[in-house]
Amino acid sequence: MSSKIKNALISVSDKENIASLLKVLKKYKINMISSGGTYKSIKKLGFRCTELSKYTGFKEMLDGRVKTLHPKIHAGILHDRRNKVHTNEMSKNKFPPIDLIIVNFYPFQKVVSNTKNFKSIIENIDIGGPTMVRAAAKNFENVAIITNKNDYPLLINELERNGGSTSLKFRQLMSSKAFGLTAYYDSMIANWFNKKLKIQFPERKTIFGKRLKKLRYGENPHQQSSIYLSDYNDKEIGFKQLHGRELSFNNYNDIFASLDILGSTKEKNCTVIIKHANPCGVSENSKSIDSLKNAFASDPISAFGGVIACNYKITKEIAKEITKNFAEVILAKEFDNESLKILKLKKNLRIIDISKFKSKKSSLIKSYDGAFMIQEKNQIILDKKKLRCVTRLKPSRKELSDIKFAINISKHIKSNAIVLCNNLSTIGIGGGQPSRLDSCKIAIQKAKKFLPKKIKNSIAASDAFFPFVDGVKILVNAGVKIIVQPGGSIRDKEIIDFANKSKIKMLFTGLRHFNH
């Protein structure tokens, strides 16, 4: 069903690109109604427009809080043109129909991002705009609603194609977008209040998100996918791609995993290599080049085609080292010109500058089939008050630094996680296994394959307690000299006795780090 537009109400905070639309409205002799800054802009551009207060016969009040909240406006939007009762009431009150609403809201998210002034934030919670939008979206049978300047070209084409009318299909599409916007807008406000009031788990939780881009496909080619931003800055993710093909779903997944680990370390030169969202090599070193080499050495086979993340500047020397191996993505704090020349020779290598990326430390969400769970991010690495050495042999200060590094890496690996480390570098990682014993075997197998000389006197970190002594035995037999675990098993005494008998050091953290 086609709907001829006679009257349009325009109220926009963002006045960009409005001129091209006004020309088409004028062409089809559509009367324009507006108020405030929008009215002034329309008049300044040379178009005829009726001021809202003159149209309603009621001056806006309360510093502009009440201007579009008027029966003449909402009856004009909401009445059903095919309902005789409605049309009679409209005729009796001399209320003309309003067939097109063009509205965007007060810039709440922009204000929240730029100020902490409570009064200013509250004043930028739009009431009249969302009310009109919801009314028009509900009455899509008769009214067209435009809430995004990017849809102006669609409206122009629709009017040109239909001689000043809009089709039902078009109005339905715009209605769905409109309800999406009001939900998004209200969600931002609700989340702002929850954060201000420190309500972490409200009775009703809304998650807002704006699509950043549509991805080529999901984890597999037969799955469709998009990436959304749930932030008041919903235009950029915080890092900049300098080269290479567009990022895929799996690229983003690996990037987020690598940034999580980088954000958890305070060391200057840390390299993280991620494959399938799991670290296969992590190293901290006073020299960035050594950090990179050590991270690769941990598991060079798994590193093939992975994501390399560095919290330091990439130089010519480091770039040459990187190009010795195949990588999908390289992330770093900065790239000098020489390094970029070298890296860009790899046509498909995605180069990402993360110098402006800042972790929001937000909650983690896991969803399934209409249900979702929310939890705090696992920010704690080690609680020194709970840390205790349970064996006769005690660790040195340097060993405590290595222990902290090992624990930190273990919390980023899928459970059951076992991490072997030596001198602030991983040498073997086992994780994602139903059995902790299997994870021990995999970690040892990796270390023996690539860095067998470093197993002796290495450190093993476990994300949860050892239920049996078997896992501890194979770690000790491989050459591990320090084991750190949460403790809490009914067999703790048996395990501690074995550790003392084997003359190794064992520490209990009292803190589990499951990562399912």
- CA 134 remoteness from chain centre: 28
* Stretch (H or E) spanning 148: none
- Catalytically annotated residue among 40, 177, 243, 276: 276
Question: Which CATH number fits the domain that encloses residue 74?
Answer: 3.40.50.1380
Q: Domains in the chain: how many in total?
A: 3
pLDDT value for 110: 81
Report the distance separating Cα 259 and Cα 264, nearest Å.
9
37 and 157, same domain (yes or no)? yes
Which residues does residue 215 pair with via DSSP β-bridges, in sequence order?
225
**144 and 3 Cβ atoms separated by less than 8 Å:** yes
Give whole-number Cα distances, 195 to 182, 192, 291, 357, in Å. Answer: 20, 5, 38, 22
54 and 130, same domain (yes or no)? yes
Q: How many CB atoms lie within 10 A of CB 255?
A: 24
Residue 306's φ and ψ, nearest 5 degrees, are -95, -170
Instruction: Indicate the residue among 308, 329, 353 that finishes a domain.
Output: 353
**485 and 466 Cβ atoms separated by less than 8 Å:** yes
425 and 502, same domain (yes or no)? yes
Q: In terms of DSSP bridges, do strands 240-243 and 225-229 run parallel, antiparallel, or are they unpaired?
A: unpaired
Which residues does residue 66 pair with via DSSP β-bridges, in sequence order?
61
Domain-embedded: residue 339: yes
Give pLDDT tens digits for 188-205: 889 888 888 888 888 888
Q: How many CA atoms lie within 13 A of 61 on its CB side?
A: 6
Mean pLDDT for back-to-back runs of 10 residues, the chain (516 residues): 82 86 89 87 89 81 72 86 85 89 83 81 82 91 92 92 91 93 89 88 87 92 92 84 93 94 87 95 95 96 95 95 94 94 93 89 82 86 86 93 93 94 96 94 96 95 95 96 95 95 95 88
113 and 19, same domain (yes or no)? yes
pLDDT value for 301: 95
Report the distance separating Cα 401 and Cα 410, nearest Å.
15
Tokens of residue 278, six digits: 């799991």
145 is in which domain, residue-wise?
A: 3-196
The full length of the chain comes to: 516
53 and 150, same domain (yes or no)? yes
User: Residue 147: which of 180, 191, 111 has the closest Cα?
Assistant: 180
Tokens of residue 452, six digits: 């067998």
Amino acid at the residue 123: E
Give whole-number Cα distances, 196 to 115, 199, 205, in Å. Answer: 14, 8, 15
Q: Which are the contacts of 117, defined by CB distance < 8 A and separation ≥ 6?
A: none
User: Residue 428: which of 436, 437, 418 has the closest Cα?
Assistant: 418
pLDDT value for 472: 96
Instruction: Indicate the residue among 333, 353, 373 that finishes a domain.
Output: 353
Question: Which CATH number fits the domain that encloses residue 248?
Answer: 3.40.140.20
Report the distance separating Cα 190 and Cα 207, nearest Å.
10
Q: What is the full DSSP assignment across 149-198? A: GGGHHHHHHHHHHTTSEE-HHHHHHHHHHHHHHHHHHHHHHHHHHHHHTT
Q: Please state the pTM of the whole predicted model.
A: 0.85
Sign of the Cα pseudo-torsion (207, 211, 212, 216, in order): positive
29 and 145, same domain (yes or no)? yes
96 and 14, same domain (yes or no)? yes
Q: How many CB atoms lie within 10 A of CB 358?
A: 8
Instruction: Indicate the residue among 328, 353, 378 that finishes a domain.
Output: 353
- CA 266 remoteness from chain centre: 22
Report the distance separating Cα 480 and Cα 419, nearest Å.
11
Give pLDDT tens digits for 98-147: 999 999 887 787 887 777 888 888 888 878 888 889 999 999 989 999 99
Q: Which are the contacts of 261, defined by CB distance < 8 A and separation ≥ 6?
A: 270, 272, 274, 279, 282, 309, 408, 409, 412
**459 and 406 Cβ atoms separated by less than 8 Å:** yes
Q: Does residue 516 carry a catalytic annotation?
A: no
**329 and 254 Cβ atoms separated by less than 8 Å:** yes
Report the distance separating Cα 349 and Cα 331, nearest Å.
11
Give the three-class secondary structure for 103: strand
Report the distance separating Cα 23 and Cα 283, nearest Å.
61
- Catalytically annotated residue among 6, 15, 74, 138: 138
258 and 175, same domain (yes or no)? no
338 and 473, same domain (yes or no)? no
Report the distance separating Cα 303 and Cα 209, nearest Å.
33
Tokens of residue 36, six digits: 């405030």
Q: Does residue 412 carry a catalytic annotation?
A: no
Domain-embedded: residue 115: yes
Categorise residue 46: left if φ over 0, alpha if ψ from -120 to 50, beta otherwise.
Answer: left
